[in-house]
Chains A and B, each alone.
Chain A
Amino acid sequence: MTSASIIKNPSNLRSRKIINSVMLTMCILAAVITIIPLLYIFFYTTQSGISSLNVDFFTQLPKPVGEEGGGMANAIVGSAILIGIGALIGIPVGILSGIYISEYSKTFVSTIVKFITDVLSGVPSIIVGIFAYGVIVIPMQRFSALAGGFALGILMIPTITKITEEMLKLVPQSLREASLALGVSRWKTTLKIVLKTASSGIVTGVLLAIARAAGETAPLLFTSFGNSFWQTSLDEPMAALPLQIFVYAISPYDDWHRQAWAGAFVLIFLVFVVNLLVRIVTRNKFSGNL
């Protein structure tokens, strides 16, 4: 690129300066435009949600249609269970495949795995829902927490894999070499030195994946299905917070809307705290786009 193409009409300094300030102002404006909806959603949810956020919300079951009161206790517990199942699938697959990509990065297979991880992170969550319906709900002949957790687990994998890979790559090569030089085998080095060094980063990655899974609704529509009672068996349908928010949000009842806002507030709060935590732990170690 030559200077001529960068600086058009070099002689007309005044118009260039005007363009300069106009464009820079536009950039500031863009940032403002982006932040407004965030703050709006944030404050609106807080304002509409916090008034319905009472003890009942965390301890009571939903009331029958159209009756006031009740809470989302079973949905909160349900979400926790679903995420637990998801984590059991997502964490081992995510971390171990992340280790594979990072530590054996020269093979052809690892390139493929890395690529597929990126692809999986882009697969719409509704598709994962159909998949879980086909391979778990239909064979088991029932909607279940297991199917919902399985879907959430799949969605957690790419986030964990990628963060593990990034974190392991940040561990200085010299550390690995020092360990190997001491006669420690490679796998022990990876587990006890490399993984340990990167552990705080990986933990935050897992948290990030959990926060994301906690808000997923689409894959639960035809897997965990929802429940109006307490349920802890994994082979029964289970309530989930985002699912309950969805059902309440599209309902015509004002009281349900208020509760849905309360649920939304809980979710946003969770997302905020986790992201803040991630920020604090990783500081500026990396700025990946996950």
Chain B
Amino acid sequence: MKLLTVLLLSLTLLSCGDKKDVSVSKPGGQINGAGATFPYPIYSKWFNEYAKINKDAKINYQSIGSGGGIKQITEGTVDFGASDSPMNDEDISKANSKNNNKILHIPTVIGSVVLTYNIPGIDKNINLSSEAISGIYLGKIKKWNDPIIQKENPDTKLPDKEIIVAYRTDGSGTTFVFTDYLGKVSDEWKTKVGVAKDVKFPIGQGGKGNEGVTGLVKQLEYSVGYVELIYALQNNLKYANVKNTEGEFVSPNLESLTKAAEQSVNEIPADLRQSITNAKGKGSYPISSYTYILIYENQKDANKGKVMKEFLQWALGDGEKFAKDLGYAPLPDAVVQKAKSIVTGIKIQ
């Protein structure tokens, strides 16, 4: 009897699902995307601005983390995903075979991960070397006045207080970019912790999303966290100058991000998946990344496909002008051209 009920229930639910599938292609349907919190400020600005230009374009974006973006686009529960870490080959083949389609990476802007901190009494941007950053996150540097940190900040009296470390709990592109950098500068990090969207941090406490980590840093005195630049800017939090491969302490800004991207723009692969952390060259900020929109090449819903295509062309063109105010850097021209040609290749069925 129970089995019967279960059967009955699942049937009702299934038929319910079928019925809904029919309505997928209704005109003016809303487009749903989910993923990275890293570009959320600019995406929400874009979708808001673009809705003013194109009344039919209601693009709903939920910032659940890059891992979520990859997962949900793979499951097919959203129309596009967003991630700061390019999908790896395994994830791509899984998404492609599951949906019988081809996933595309469209870079949108360049962002940076900053080390933001809350040290009462210190109002300037402190300097952090890669040794200091990996030491803090490996749990080896415990206090703010540790010699490794202090020696790079001769003019600042750092307090004798324990460092409270904050990290991301969700599958996050920000975490990927940060650990990607740490993996490049510290062998110990690479072997002990690894490089991924979601790693097991040796120390600290977790917050959900860039929003959550920023919230933690704001709440907790003597804390440090890694977030996308705009989150520190909008909250008037201080962030560190980070030592690059040339030995300079660089602040994340339009110029230093563009420099980092330009170092390797000639080597960018055809699918535009490229890491630009620990970039060489003078003036490059070392913890930066492209952020991507993930979308399938074959758009099954003509309406949505058309709107998305138009939106992406707009974003890569006029949209880029919003990047600067929100602390992101626009893509180098060469990358814009390549990205636009990928967008043009999106097929509408």
- Do A and B come into direct contact in the complex, CB within 8 Å? yes
Interface centre among B48, B61, B77 (most CB of A within 10 A): B77
Q: Is A92 an interface residue (CB 8 A)?
A: no
Q: Is A37 an interface residue (CB 8 A)?
A: no
Q: Which one of B41, B76, B78, B218 contacts A66 once the chains associate, using CB atoms below 8 Å?
A: B41
Q: Is B44 an interface residue (CB 8 A)?
A: yes
Residues on the A chain within 8 Å of B40, using CB: 65
Q: Do A235 and B13 form a contact, CB below 8 Å, given A64-B41, A141-B77, A250-B215? A: no
Q: Which of A85-139 contact B (CB under 8 A)?
A: 135-139
Q: Which one of A64, A143, A252, A253 contacts B48 once the chains associate, using CB atoms below 8 Å?
A: A64
CB of B337, distance to nearest CB on chain A (Å): 28
Cβ-closest chain B residue relative to A135: B13
Chain A: number of interface residues, binned into ranges? 20 to 34
CB of A72, distance to nearest CB on chain B (Å): 15
Residues on the B chain within 8 Å of A251, using CB: 211, 214-215
Q: Is B340 an interface residue (CB 8 A)?
A: no
Q: Do A146 and B78 form a contact, CB below 8 Å, given A229-B58, A250-B207? A: no
CB of B163, distance to nearest CB on chain A (Å): 20
Q: Do A143 and B78 form a contact, CB below 8 Å, given A64-B45, A235-B20? A: yes
* Complex-state Cα separation, A235 to B21, whole angstroms: 9
Residues on the A chain within 8 Å of B78, using CB: 142-143
* B218 adjacent to A252 (CB under 8 Å): yes
CB of A118, distance to nearest CB on chain B (Å): 18
* A236 adjacent to B44 (CB under 8 Å): no
Residues on the B chain within 8 Å of A282, using CB: none
* A231 adjacent to B215 (CB under 8 Å): no
Q: Is A227 an interface residue (CB 8 A)?
A: yes
* B20 adjacent to A146 (CB under 8 Å): yes
Cβ-closest chain B residue relative to A133: B77
Q: Contact string, B60-72, partner A, CB cutoff 8 A, digits 1/0?
A: 1110000000000
* A136 adjacent to B17 (CB under 8 Å): yes
Residues on the A chain within 8 Å of B41, using CB: 64-66
* B234 adjacent to A141 (CB under 8 Å): no
Q: Is A201 an interface residue (CB 8 A)?
A: no
Q: Which of B234-285 contact A (CB under 8 A)?
A: 234-235
CB of A211, distance to nearest CB on chain B (Å): 26
Q: Is B230 an interface residue (CB 8 A)?
A: yes
Residues on the B chain within 8 Å of A226, using CB: 60, 62
* Complex-state Cα separation, A141 to B209, whole angstroms: 24
* Complex-state Cα separation, A213 to B94, whole angstroms: 37
* Complex-state Cα separation, A253 to B218, whole angstroms: 10
Residues on the A chain within 8 Å of B214, using CB: 251-252
* A233 adjacent to B30 (CB under 8 Å): yes
Interface residues of A (CB under 8 A from B): 63-66, 135-144, 146, 225-231, 233, 235-237, 247, 250-253
Interface residues of B (CB under 8 A from A): 10, 13-14, 16-17, 20-21, 23, 29-30, 32, 34, 40-41, 44-45, 47-48, 51, 58, 60-62, 75-78, 207-209, 211-212, 214-215, 218, 230-231, 234-235, 326
Pull 13 A–B residue pairs with CB atoms less than 8 Å apart, ordered by A: A64-B41, A64-B45, A66-B41, A135-B10, A139-B13, A139-B14, A140-B20, A226-B60, A226-B62, A250-B208, A250-B209, A251-B211, A252-B235
